[in-house]
Amino acid sequence: MIKLNILSVSIFLIILAGNSLTAQNTKNNNATIPPIVVVLSVDQMRTDYLSRFWNKFQEGGFKRLVNEGAVFSNAQLDLHVQKISTGTATLFTGVYPATHGIVNDSWYDRLKKKEINCIDDDYFITVGSDSKEGERSAAKLLSPTIGDLIKINTRNKSKVFSVAMNDVSAVLSAGHAANGAYWFDTQNGNMISSSYYVDIFPEWVRQFNEKQFAKTYTQRDWTTLLPVKSYEESLADDYILEKGYYDKWNTFPYDLKKIKDKAGNFKFLKTTPYGNTMVKDFAVNLIHAEKLGTDEYPDFLTVTFTSMDYENSSFGPASVEMEDIYLRLDQDIALLLGFLDKSLGKGNSLVVLTSGCSSVYPVEYLKEEFNMPVGTFSPESAIALLKSFLNITYGQGDWIEVAGDQQLYFDRDLLEKKNIQLEDIQTKTANFINQFEGVKIALPSVSFEQGDYTKGQLAVIANSYNFKRSGDVLYQLEDGWQPVYKYQRTIYNDNANIPFIMHGNSVKNTHIRGQIKGEDMLPTILEILKIPIPDYCAGKILEEVLW
């Protein structure tokens, strides 16, 4: 195993000192401690999918989790930038972006004068492929994950793994000390990892890849699981506002070979139900090969599925394609739960269903079908007007270095050279942006550095503001408004609601309607495992579901 970088080691030492973790000898000699915790995270899963598709689900999948588990119907993940990266990091560290540092998929590094991706790391190499898609690490994640804390408390005896189609989901849920994190290589269709986690590629993974599941799936058609006319919970298959693949293919059946040839790689497999099936099959092989849950120390596994991934907005939450994804995912989850029962005993595993990010309905759909007061906001047009305003106010200059997702970075060297006060330009810029239709609020970062916005409406931005990584001006759009760009795909979400269900003998079968937060997952799981909860944790123990 590659040694942890200096930053990660420092974090762990602080935790050890601050919480007396070394005094804890966590052995699974208590019958209430599950031998394994399995988090099923479904990227971009809306909570209403469970009720909408309920009558078509079988008994052993989603229905089993709901009927036998502790269901939280009002779970929220309140973040300024709501993406898989920020949500996953928050869920698995139990703290906000202000602390864990993952403020977006990427951010502007003022010292290096370039944008930094949240997991890219060319110090490490791909394991299991000759592509560069394994050059990833959790080095930029500033806080330990659940898996990290479990390994520290068991003196590295517990085993921690993650598996996902996307590298971001796999890395940020695994954390720093995991035994392995695996994700899908879009270039060759293999499951791969990084030398950050794995020194020698396991033989069982090599054998899994030899079966070439991705190639097999792309040689078939994607047809509906049930007769397409029976998908009454969704819009018509040929709904006019549905863009589809490459703005041309939007009705069943889908010739996956044709789409693969058009794409030039296997990336599109993430948008089909077969990507989820591949993740499920890999997870089953992992549990068996790595002997998870078979000794006295609790193990931890994250399995991340997708909801059409990057094509989510091309089809939408109300599409037949989305419904078919979930009907098939229901079967995959049922098979996975059945495997856990057979291997470790019925209900002995603690299974958590959740999501690091929800999804929203397209603006066109809400306006056309329901006449909702929503709209689109063009960041590019807004920035163009802002630049003119700044040039009139401060003179000609490239004042804005980077305009990212809902935040702006100024050229601070230029400000210093022109003797312009940072607070002044931040405040004037925020006031200017606040005038645009569709903007709920824009704030200068100096507000978070000097004031207290940890409560109330501004807490969402304040909790996501990281002094070193966030921009100089941050803004939020009005509810229902979405950004649109001329030359790039829009990835945006303002729906804070996420599914959250805990299932197993260690939790009660109950339904909780009160509001909880995504960051409550970490302290609750640690409490079940009898592991000390760090004092910095932003979440609380969900005591009402514990025995």
Domains contained in the chain, CATH given: 6-74+138-360+499-545 (3.40.720.10), 376-483 (3.30.1360.150)
- Give the CA count within 13 Å in the CB-facing half-sphere of 483: 26
pLDDT tens-place string over residues 198-247: 999 999 999 999 999 999 999 999 999 999 999 999 999 999 999 999 99
Beta bridge partners of 507: 546
Residue 37 backbone class (left: φ over 0; alpha: ψ -120 to 50; beta: rest): beta
The helix/strand/coil state of 108 is strand
Q: What DSSP line would sit under 363-374, residue for residue?
A: HHHHHHHH--S-
Say what the alpha-carbon torsion angle 111, 117, 119, 125 is, to the nearest 10 degrees.
Answer: -90
Q: Which residues contact 435 (CB under 8 A, 6 or more apart)?
A: none
CA distance 401 to 388: 15
Residues in the chain where the model's pLDDT stays below 70: 1-31, 451-457
Residues 6+ apart with CB under 8 A from 451: none
β-strand pairing of 400-404 with 407-410: antiparallel
Answer whether the bond into residue 253 is a cis peptide, omega within 30°.
yes
CA 101 to chain centre: 14
Query: What residues have CB less than 8 Å from 101, skipping those under 6 apart?
Result: 89, 140, 141, 142, 143, 466, 468, 469
> Closest by alpha carbon to 166, among 329, 304, 332, 40?
304
Residue given tokens 């601070």 in the structure block: 412
**If residue 392 lies in a helix (H) or strand (E), which one and from where to where?**
helix 379-394
Please list, in sequence order, all residues whose beta carbon lies within 8 angstroms of the beta carbon of residue 426, skipping any fewer than 6 positions away.
Answer: 410, 444, 445, 446, 472, 473
Residues 20-72: pLDDT tens digits?
333 334 444 444 899 999 999 999 999 999 999 999 999 999 999 999 999 99
Angle between helices 320-344 and 273-289 (to 10 degrees): 10
Tell me what pLDDT residue 26 has: 44
Rounded-to-10 torsion of CA 452, 458, 462, 465: -140
Structure confidence at residue 32 (pLDDT): 80
Residue type, position 461, single letter? I
pTM equals 0.93
Two tokens at 498?
Answer: 């996420």
Distance in angstroms (rounded) separating the CA atoms of residues 101 and 81: 12
Structural contact between residues 408 and 472, judged by C-beta atoms closer than 8 angstroms = yes
> Who contacts 346 (Cβ-Cβ below 8 Å, separation ≥6)?
none
The half-sphere exposure of 518 on its side-chain side, counting CA atoms within 13 A, is: 29
Phi first, then psi, for residue 159 (nearest 5°) are -110, 135
Helices (H) and strands (E) in the chain, counts: 20, 21
Nearest to 288 by CA among 365, 208, 397: 208
Phi, psi values for residue 74, rounded to 5°: -135, 60
Cα 11 vs. chain centroid, distance in angstroms?
22
Q: What is the spatial distance between Cα 65 and Cα 38, in angstroms, rounded to a whole number?
A: 13
Whole-number Å distance between alpha carbons of 298 and 307: 29
Confidence at residue 459, expressed as pLDDT on a 0 to 100 scale: 87
* Pick from 109, 172, 125: nearest CA to 145: 172
* Distance between CA atoms of residues 182 and 162, nearest Å: 6
Q: Which residues pair with 483 in a beta bridge?
A: 377
pLDDT at 25: 40
**β-strand 70-76 against 497-503: which pairing, if any?**
antiparallel
Q: How far apart are CA 168 and CA 306, in angstroms?
A: 12
Instruction: Report the C-alpha gap between 542 and 547 in whole angstroms.
Output: 11
Phi, psi of 113 (to 5 degrees): 60, 45
